[in-house]
Amino acid sequence: MKSTLDRLYRIGLWIKGIDGALEMAGWIKGIDGALEMAGGLFLLVVSQPQLGQLVTFLTQRELTEDRSDWIANHLRDAVSQLSPNTKLFATMYLLGHGVVKLFLMVGLLRDWAWSYRPAIAFLLVFVGYAVYRMSLHFSFPLLLVSVMDSVIALLVWREYRSTYRGDI
């Protein structure tokens, strides 16, 4: 009898941990949305030459210590090859993604019933787009974000089913 109660207690703690994970993921995604909006606004107001000067300033010290620093060199190369269209796309992507993400995560954290299905759809659309982008050119950071978005979509779906469709 005690082992059955212990198992039920452990399952209860596990489910409580999943609920806590959803709340933590909501906060992380909300903060990420705010940071994406800030990054999009930054790209919107900073010109291409100013961006190049900023990257040069930020990487100069590191490159004086180690001329072959991989991150600093790739960052400089990326900014020097950044076209105006790519900059505009990045700006619009960050602003749009950030606004929608922040709006939906606030809705989830406040437990607004209408926000669950759009949040799941939004996350899965961006995962689908990321998979498409990775099929053209693999990106490990994009893979990590896609996995995290997929897990969050599953957590949101689980919470939606348990809250509005009966307990799982």
Determine contact, residues 123/149, Cβ cutoff 8 Å. Answer: yes
d(CA 42, CA 99): 15
Inform me whether the pLDDT recorded for 13 exceeds 70: no
Q: Which of 13-17, 22-26, 64-68 has the highest mean pLDDT?
A: 64-68
What is the arithmetic mean of pLDDT over 100-124?
88
Region 7-36 average pLDDT: 72
Is residue 20 scored above 90 in pLDDT? no
For 75, counting Cβ atoms within 10 Å of its Cβ (0-12 exposed, 13-18 middle, 19+ buried), the class is middle
pLDDT at 110 over 70: yes
Average pLDDT score over residue span 87-98:
87
The per-residue pLDDT of the chain, averaged, comes to 83
The pLDDT value recorded for residue 18 is 66
Judge whether 59 and 75 are in contact, CB under 8 Å: yes
Residues 21-33, mean pLDDT to the nearest whole number? 83
Q: How far is CA 40 from the centre of its chain?
A: 14
User: Residue 19: pLDDT above 90?
Assistant: no
pTM above 0.75, yes or no: no
Q: Can you give the pLDDT at residue 168?
A: 47
- According to the model, what pLDDT value does residue 57 have? 93
